[in-house]
Structure 1
């Protein structure tokens, strides 16, 4: 089973994926920034460059037992994400 979530933030594309056999991945503009293998939950971190060319921290948490859910934060503020699959 594979789950994919996406978000756009200041012209950056953020994609978070979760698969049973490949683990969880965080991509920013199609570049892999973090990868983990969690049983019930996983925390992923990365960064983006904003419009002022400043680095901003990305945190994503994937959790759930029967259905995977995801929460995304950029600089400690929750950002809306869309589940694609």
Structure 2
């Protein structure tokens, strides 16, 4: 089973995927930036976006188990500001 979260931030597509028993992946503009394999209660993936002015922005996707361990939640941040995924 695959669950995905997608957000557009200033013209850049940030996509995360969770696959039960196979881990999580972070894509920025279609390029895989980070991945984690295996099972865990929480995990964090990171990547970077370079804007038109040359500034670099840190993208962080935080995964955790939801209530009773039956679902996975994902929170997506850019420069420590929540931009998408499940509500905090």
**Given the two structures, how large is their TM-score scaled by the length of structure 1?**
0.87
Task: Give how far 1:21 is off.
Answer: 3.6
Match of 2:16 in 1: 16
Task: Give how far 1:35 is off.
Answer: 0.4
Q: Distance in 1 between matches of 2:70 and 2:8?
A: 27
Structure 2 unaligned runs (5+)? none
On the 8 A contact 1:10/1:51 being kept in 2, the answer is no
Backbone CA RMSD of aligned residues = 1.4
Structure number with greater CO (CA < 8 Å, separation at least 6) is 1
Give the paired residue count: 82
Task: Give how far 1:62 is off.
Answer: 0.8
Q: Distance in 1 between matches of 2:52 and 2:70?
A: 38
Q: Distance in 2 between matches of 1:44 and 1:15?
A: 11
Structure 1 unaligned runs (5+)? none
